[in-house]
Amino acid sequence: MARIGTWWQRHRPSTRRLIQLYTAVLYNANLKGFIKGDIFRGSTKAVCTPGLNCYSCPGAVGACPLGALQNALATAKTRAGWYALGTLLLFGVIFGRTICGFFCPVGMLQELLYKIPGFKIRKSRITRILSYLKYLILILFAILIPLWSGLFRDVPLPAFCKYICPAGTLEGAGGLLANPANQDLYPMLGSLFIRKCVILLLVILACIFCYRSFCRFLCPLGAIYSLFNRVSIIGIKVDQDRCTHCGACAKSCPMDVRCAGDHECISCGRCQNVCSRKAIALKCGRTSLNGEKYRRIGWTLALVLLAGALLYFNLADPKESSTVPIGYEAGQQLEDFSIPLVGEDTFRLSEHRGQVVFLNLWATWCGPCVEELDYFSRLQTEHPEIEVLAVHSAFVTEDVEEYLKGRDWNVDAAIDTEEEMVFRIVNGSTLLPQTIVLNPRGEVIYNQVGSVTYELLTELLQEAQQS
């Protein structure tokens, strides 16, 4: 018993760890999403969380601020993303990198990985130089590429999410693929998935050997918040009247700080204990946050909020867009529907009996959708006997008609109704793009989420014609 007591004394979680755990659960309060294997689609998803948390995670109840920023930049041509910019600005000036230290689930995971015993790489001049890499990644992958792609290619490309983000692979892709209900996603896994898994694996390994490697060297969100560290309301503050500039704070800190509270400081508070002059404190404005005064009431309010969130997202069944699974699977007859086309005509499915019909679910804000529509257009041009209908998601962020005018696509296009009629009939996923192929009898022979190649489309056409 005494041994257990000693172990607990040594391993008991710190207040910071409890806050990190609390935040991770709060950000991902939609626990039933993990059971259902689908993401939450309620209105709270418009609110950005302060920390890095993929919004494609089945549990996520808020939006990732970094994903929101990239998409805002990618669609800057049609609408300025003031909301994402304002949110980041507000988070930065209130919390600075305290968010990294306290409110980031990815930060917590990195710290837990570092607890695995073994060889450790200490901070050095090299790690300090590497710590500037995240600014390069921020500028290149989170700002310039999405902006360039949106402005000059008309294809939204959140480059950091697509090429680097390990949180997206772990929480988003991992969270969805771990559920057997999403077995239909397995065939679409290819080289991109392998690349992202390799990056995730490398980040995990790096975090085992080197403290918070992703946070220190790669994370663009940390880079953004670091710009506000000097002016943030909450954070580690140094009393300059007491400080002797002995450097003990920087020496004890596992991050690449030069002094407590600088741009690399995540306000973990470790340096407070080594400062012999008691010059360092975690503060909100001028008030120290180290006291016991508000701790009990703070935790009580926080736990009430968490309990409320868990009840709301898991039991109260908040309003979500629903899909009705009627006859959308391979071998089933697709329900007839009629929808106005962009332009003048109307598309009625039953009028195309005897033809192979390709339905493509897309959106202007979905990069892969826009890219693959070239293949559909080519298919329609080379096979005028078939029908290709591109149905834009009901979630319209720009003038689709105007958008289509700028494209040379030879396909019929429609925008789904507000009630998402077409998406409901074909079991349109929250994942885009999605392709549905009907044989001449109107039977579904293919209904898959994910990008397609031209070769796949021609194979599907052959299959549809022969079935």
Contact (Cβ atoms closer than 8 angstroms) between residue 435 and residue 360: yes
Q: Please give the structure tokens belonging to residue 25.
A: 């659960």
Mark the segment that binds other proteins (CB under 8 A) among 83-91, 121-129, 294-302, 328-336.
Answer: 83-91
Residues 444 to 463 in contact with other proteins, rule: CB under 8 A: 449-451
Length of the chain: 467
Smallest gap, in angstroms, from Cβ of residue 259 to other proteins? 14
Among 321, 410, 417, 467, binds other proteins (CB under 8 A): 321
Mark the segment that binds other proteins (CB under 8 A) among 228-236, 304-312, 345-353, 404-412.
Answer: 228-236
Nearer to other proteins, 17 or 195 (CB): 195
Find out whether the peptide bond into 433 is cis, omega within 30 degrees of 0.
yes
Among 103, 141, 211, 228, binds other proteins (CB under 8 A): 228
Site string for other proteins, 232-271 (x = CB under 8 A): -x------xx------------------------------
Comparing CA positions, the residue from 91, 141, 130, 95 lying closest to residue 255 is 130
Site string for other proteins, 277-316 (x = CB under 8 A): ----------------------------------------
Among 21, 25, 93, 130, binds other proteins (CB under 8 A): 93
Mark the segment that binds other proteins (CB under 8 A) among 55-63, 128-136, 335-343, 406-414.
Answer: 55-63
> Would you list the DSSP string of 197-239?
HHHHHHHHHHHHHBTTHIIIII-HHHHHHHTTTTT-SEEEEE-
Q: State yes or no: residue 431 binds other proteins (CB under 8 A).
A: yes
Nearer to other proteins, 241 or 418 (CB): 241
Q: Which residues lie below 8 Å from residue 410, measured CB to CB, with a gap of 6+?
A: 377, 380, 381
Smallest gap, in angstroms, from Cβ of residue 212 to other proteins? 22
Q: Which residue has the tokens 């607890």?
A: 115
Round to whole Å and give the CA distance between 392 and 236.
48
Strand partners, 210: 121
Burial of 369 (0-12, 13-18, 19+ CB in 10 A): buried
Round to whole Å and give the CA distance between 413 and 342.
6
Smallest gap, in angstroms, from Cβ of residue 264 to other proteins? 19
Residues 158 to 197 in contact with other proteins, rule: CB under 8 A: 158, 161-162, 168-169, 172-173, 176-177, 185, 188-193, 195-197
Q: State yes or no: residue 393 binds other proteins (CB under 8 A).
A: yes
Q: How many residues bind other proteins (CB under 8 A)?
A: 76
Round to whole Å and give the CA distance between 340 and 331.
27
Smallest gap, in angstroms, from Cβ of residue 390 to other proteins? 16
Mark the segment that binds other proteins (CB under 8 A) among 16-24, 67-75, 214-222, 310-318.
Answer: 67-75
Residues 4 to 43 in contact with other proteins, rule: CB under 8 A: 39-43
Residues 341 to 360 in contact with other proteins, rule: CB under 8 A: none
Contact (Cβ atoms closer than 8 angstroms) between residue 228 and residue 93: yes
Round to whole Å and give the CA distance between 171 and 68.
16
Contact (Cβ atoms closer than 8 angstroms) between residue 157 and residue 149: yes
Structure letter (DSSP) for residue 172:
I
Contact (Cβ atoms closer than 8 angstroms) between residue 349 and residue 333: no
- CA distances from residue 66 to 46, 50, 55, 250, 335 in whole angstroms, order as listed: 13, 9, 10, 29, 39
Mark the segment that binds other proteins (CB under 8 A) among 99-107, 129-137, 338-346, 366-374.
Answer: 366-374
Among 89, 121, 151, 205, binds other proteins (CB under 8 A): 89
Comparing CA positions, the residue from 235, 214, 269, 229 lying closest to residue 17 is 269
Nearer to other proteins, 349 or 432 (CB): 432
Round to whole Å and give the CA distance between 369 and 127.
39
Nearer to other proteins, 119 or 186 (CB): 186
Smallest gap, in angstroms, from Cβ of residue 332 to other proteins? 23
Could you give the count of Cα atoms lying within 13 Å of 231 in the half-sphere of its Cβ? 8
Among 73, 147, 219, 432, binds other proteins (CB under 8 A): 432
Nearer to other proteins, 96 or 222 (CB): 96
Q: State yes or no: residue 105 binds other proteins (CB under 8 A).
A: no
Structure letter (DSSP) for residue 137:
H
Smallest gap, in angstroms, from Cβ of residue 465 to other proteins? 26
Comparing CA positions, the residue from 13, 233, 206 lying closest to residue 215 is 206
Mark the segment that binds other proteins (CB under 8 A) among 17-25, 124-132, 208-216, 227-235.
Answer: 227-235
Nearer to other proteins, 26 or 432 (CB): 432
